Structures are given as C-alpha cells and as structure tokens.
Structure 1
Amino acid sequence: MTNDLSPLASLRHALASSDSYIDTIATLAAAKANSSASHNTYIALQTAESLQRAEQLPSLYPDVNDRPPLYGTTISIKDCFDVEGTITTCGSRFYAQFNPVAANNSWVAQRLLDAGAIIPGKTHLHQLAYGITGENTDYGNSLQPRDPTLLTGGSSSGAAASVQEGSALAAIGTDTGGSVRVPAALCGLAGYRSSHGVSRGEERWAEAAHLAPSFDTLGILFRDLRDGPALANAIFDIAASPAPSHPRIGCVGEDFLHDAEPEVIEAYAAWKQQLLRHGAILTPIDTTFWADSLEIFSHIQASEAAAIHRGHYQHFEPAIAERLAWGASITTEQLVALHKRLAVFRFQMSLIFEQVDLLLVPCAPVSKLHAGHDQSKIRPTILRYTTPISLTGLPAVTLPGEHIGAAFGTGMQLIAAPMQDAPLLAFAASLATHNT
C-alpha cells in the first residue's frame, strides 16, 4: 500500500485551502446517495439538510486553524439513532409509523455535528438490527454498490454501502453480534467495534434504540485503517496512542476454521505473514471453550430484545418475530444460569489476554452473501466467529482483505482486551502504512 494521504487526511488538506470544496462534498454525497436508491443504502436521505449544513460550516468555523476534527466530513448514521426532525425506524415500517418525529439528536448524532460533520442520511439496517445478512422485507435487501449481486451483510448494512459507494467517508453503526465487523469485511472496508465500556451508559445510548444492552456497542465503518484513530478520537474521545511494537498476537487454529472457505483461509494465512513482517509474535490459542459462545449469546440477546419489543412481535418479519417470541419464553432461572456461564466465559477469555496482546480471527467463514439465495443457515455459522468477542465486550478492528491483496470480502478481526481501543486502533493504522 502506498503512503499517500488517507481519505480523512486528504479531505482536511483540501478543506484547509478551499471552503467551496464543502459544497462539492455535500453535492456529491447527495447525488451518489440518490443514484444508489436501488441498493437500499439509506432509509432517509437528508439532501437539503446536508447542503444547508455545508453552506453554513464556513461561517460557523471561520478560522481555518480552529476547525473541529470532522469539519466538512460526510458521516452517515444507522437508523436506530435519532436525528432531530426524522423518525427512527429501526428498519421497520411499523416503527416508521409508531415512533414520533425525533425532537432531539441522539448522543452520537450530536457528537458528529459538534465535530463539524455533515450527516447525509440515516442508513438501512437489518430489521431491529437483529440480523447479520442485511436482508429486510420492509425496506428491501441492502446490496453492495460495487456488486449488486451481493448482500452487504448486516445489521449495519446501509452503513457499509454508504462508505463503499462514497456518499459517506465514514458511517456510524452498531455491533451486537458482529454488525459492524461482518458488513465491513464483506464490503472490503475497515470497521471499528468499540469496547463495551466505551459504548456503555445511558448518555451514549440517549435517543437511540438498543437491541440487547448486555452486548450492544457503537462502531464506525470507514475505508482506510489510518483514519481509525482520528475518527475514534473525534467521536468517542479515545486519545491517540502509540502503536505497540512486537505485539503478541493469538491465532485460532485449523480446528476452529473447519467451515471456512478456502479464500478466507488463504487470507488468514496471508495476514499472519503480514503481521510477522510487521514485527508481531504469533502464538496459537486454545479456543475450545468458544464452542459455548453462541448458545450463551443467542439466549441472552433474544431475551433482552424480546423485552424491548414486547407487544409488537407480530409487526416484524417472521424470522425475527419467532426469535422474539422464543426470547420471551426464556425463564428467569434460565437467564441466571446463562449469566453464570457468561461470567465463566469472560474469565476464560481474560486468561488468554494474560498470554497475548491481540487476537486475529476471520470475521466470517465466507466472503460473499449472494442476493436472492437462502441465507437462513449462514447466520449461526457466521456468529460462531463473532460472538466470542461480543460476549466479552472486546474492541475489534476489521482488517480488509484487499489491503494485502487477498480476495475481496475476506476481512479479519484484530481484537484487543477490554478498553484497549487506543493501542488497537493505532496498531491497525500502522499496518496500513507498511508496504506489502
């Protein structure tokens, strides 16, 4: 990879010399979003608002040297966060009619605006953020602008599409069971899932819709790994950190990868070689206990989602309605037992991080989800790769396969211990400046 400027750095450089460039950015964002309507990228476009915002920015921040970090940057937002003057649908036509027009911005939307960003629209998502494919019977399936025969993955489906098509430089998503990591990987993008501790709290979920609070995290999808630290700092106040040198990186073995496609295995091997060249020390880890993750995760997730959407199950697509009804049937005694298993799981994971600094795991065992095909069996297969990280509230960065010349869609999870977001982002960014 060449050492030219990252997309965010390029935009900053351009805006430092020309305010008119903001108008160009906003106009292109609106035009590209409109042209991609058939891809189901946005549920609600904010074309007029984007243009008005772009026109106002120079007068709001006249001093070129004192502008906020995301000045003039287009950042889309998943439609489970309130944006003043819009209705938050959560990907459901029922909620589009049931929910009122938002009187306030969600915490994350306000953070974007305070940082100088332009919000081009609210993006498509798997209904209720409760799915990994990006399919949606209410609003249509989210397709990749680069190849509309492929689904984006989900649930932050439109978020990934908006960055891939170029209508947004970055996108706000959520990740409960893999909803940033998987669409980022399948769409050839970088993604950042924050630590649960970064995302936790009433303030950060103010005016936003949860799916399962025990596991919900905020995240960002973007194009270039080098932009991760700056975006995380501007949005989440994660301070810059030096990249760790010679990190110990734990790697899953062939037994874990038994269902992975050959091109995913090839990409995984290539990334391990790349990390060795970058000074990392690789070591195998025992993932036997990860076999318990999906059962723990799916039960607790379903129970919490059922409580949030109680009384409305019949308004959602059948597969989701069935999950919610099942979640409502889980007893208090069962949940107590599940949370005990969760505590044990988290302890076992903490022991791994006494041996290593980071983990490397594929985001998914597949690199493509073909539109129009039956995806019902792929969900548990993918979640086996992502839920161990979700259960333990770990931060993760998606490393795009194409960065090292691997097949498109073969993203890897680079994972750190809880609240080690800053060194994780810094190390991931350093990989993008290392020529292959």
Structure 2
Amino acid sequence: MYCNLNWTGCAAAITAKKAGAEVHVFEKTDLLLGLGNIGGIMRNNGRFTAAEELIALGAPELIHLCDKNSNHKNIKFPGHEHASLYDVTSIEPDVRKLLTDMDIKLHLITRVTDIEQNEKIIKGVRLSNGDYIEGDVIVETTGSTGPMGNCQRYGNGCAMCILRCPSYGPRISISERAGVKDFSGERNDDKLGAFSGSCEVAKDSLSEELKNQLETTGVAVLQVPSEDVNYDKLEAKVCQQYALKEFAENLVMLDTGHAKLMTSYYPLDKLRKIPGLEKARYVDPLAGSQGNSIRYLSVAPRTNDMKVIGVDNLFCAGEKSGLFVGHTEAISTGSLAGHNAVRFCLGIPLLTLPASLSIGDIISFANEKSQTREGRKSRYTFAGSDYFKRMKDLNLYSIDIKEIENRVKKVSLDNVFNQKLV
C-alpha cells in the first residue's frame, strides 16, 4: 500500500497498519506531513467534534500527538473558538517516530513518477530512481498543491513553499495516470485553484513585545493601515473559514512555533509598517511578499468509502478526495481510506461512515456538492464557512466529549479503526 506522507497519508498508513497490512509509504521530500509543517490549527469550531469522533472511532494517535505538541489550547481568534495550536517545529519528528515504531516502512526522498496498470487494476508504481514496486492497493494522498507550472499559471509563480518542488520534483496524479479525469476547485473570478491561506514569519524577527504577547496568549490581532486593506484577497483564499472581513482589516497572528499570519501573502514593505513587525522576515513561503502555493488543482472522483471511481484498487483521501481544508479533515478522510484499503484487499464490505457523524456527513456532503460548478467554488471544513453552519443546523457540532462518544457507540463504530482484519 502506498501513500504520500502528509497528514492524510500518515493517517491512512496508521489505520491500514492497525488493520493488519504491510504498509509502504513514499514521500518525495525529506519531511513527513507536507503542508502540516506550516499549519498548526486544530480543534477550532467543528474540528473539536471531528477530533473527538476520530478518537472514539479508534484513530486517536495523530490527534493525541497534536494535543501533546500544542503550546496553546482553548484560545479564541476572530470567528473561531476553543482552538489548539500545535508547534510546527516539533510535531514532525514525533509523527515520524510513531510511524517507525509501528513498523510502517517509510521511503523518504522517493518520488512516484508513474504506474503500471492492467485494465482497471494498478499493479505497481515506478519511482524517480527507476525502481518498480508492486502493491495490492494504493491510497493516493498526493494532495492537490502545485507543482511549479500550476503555481505559475494559476497564481503568482512558485512562492518557494515547504513542498520545495524545485528541489524534490513535482507531484503526479496517480488517478489521472490510471485514466481517471480529475477535477479542480474554482474561484469566483473563473480561475482554477486557490491560494494557501496563511504564511509564516520568523518569531525572532518580531519585536520583543509582540513575540512575548504571541508566546503568552497564542494570538495577536494587529490593525492593518487603512490604505493597505485588501478585501479582494479574501476571494482567492483556500481557507474560506478565515475569509472574514476581520482578516482583511486586521492582521491575525497565531503562535504555531513560527508566527502564523492569517493571510495568503503580504508585501514585506507593507508588513514592516505595522508596529512590532518592523524587522519581519518570511520563513514560509520564502516569497510571502508575492504569493503562495496554489491548491485544489487535482481532485479525484470517488465514492463515500474513499474509493476512486474507475480504478479497482485505488483509494484517495485529503485534498485529493475533495475540496477539504485542514489537518483534521485530512486525518479523518485518510483514516477511512487506509482502513478501507485493507477491507478491499480482503474482499469484505467497505465502510461508509454515517451522516450522524460529522466525518461521515462532510465526506458525503462535499462529494455531492462537488458535482456542481457552484459546489466546486466552495471549500469544506469543520472549522467554518458553509459546512460549519450545516454542522450546527444538523446538531452535529458538540464540545461534549461524552456526547460525541455516545454518538459513535450508537452506530456501533466505537474503535472500528482499531480492529485487526488480517
């Protein structure tokens, strides 16, 4: 079984391993977690509910690691409640140790470049070094960001983000190599894709006062000079849960190990006009003055059990499986895909999570909405925008852990991801 080692791929690898599979994971860079290395936001709004559902379903490992690495818990920032912020500078080694201790085979700096296929069955993958590896089932978690040509065509050029395509090469779409037609997310200006929604500034480049505020409270809200307010950028953001006017009129900063700016990009000369940021310097993307990575350009059609339509032994998760935003969403879809990949190999019925759980509902809701053009202009996240409103309307949103546990038990799915199937 193969998957890329972002949050989605790590989650899929864990549930597949717990189900009894031999798991090999291929990652083109030298780091696990992909964009999770510059993320950090967990448990805000409906993500709290989904995180506790994952724990009750038997996939607690990555949620617990994020909690353990969170220096700030139960914080508020505009439009968001009870958030946790994990430290992006410490999380990756812990996740790597977890996977290694589980005897999941990690293949780093190993890029998949092609597949071998027999009709609707993928027989194996070809690597950039020429090796050919066979497998029974593939979970594609390549994400939908880049590569450089797409960031040039649909964005402001390569922003030199954490994925480092110039050094490690471009992602490919395994689904498209297998003959499946992927689709793209859209923007209101008829462009494809969307800008990643935040960038990182080195905390040591902040004033001592601002740095201390961030490290003490986890959040700082700085007023943007009126002449620099830009509402148009909100339309291009991938993170619609942060596309609020407060995020245009103010610079919202979060302490995720770096200082996270909740904006896609911001010209450095304008950034340094804001008190406390006179010496600010970007750490991701390095060209944060000019742009950011472009995402949602490669989404595979799938069923609600995460199986790709048109290929017998290919599953998908994360951004590859829909217009999802966030680590929690990645872990949720990845956990289901990895578990179902093993079920497929054994010839037993695949698991579809019910709509009485927020994870099951978002998987089916995003799938349904993506069939329309308007739906492809939306993004789906437990944390905000239209889906969080839906969670509240359907009484799916809860921060009562016991209630969430009972919800999972009611559908007899408690610890389902802990079941050894092989």
In the superposition, the TM-score normalised over structure 2's length comes to 0.27
**Structure with a larger share of its residues in helix:** 1
Structure number with higher relative contact order (C-alpha < 8 Å, ≥ 6 residues apart): 2
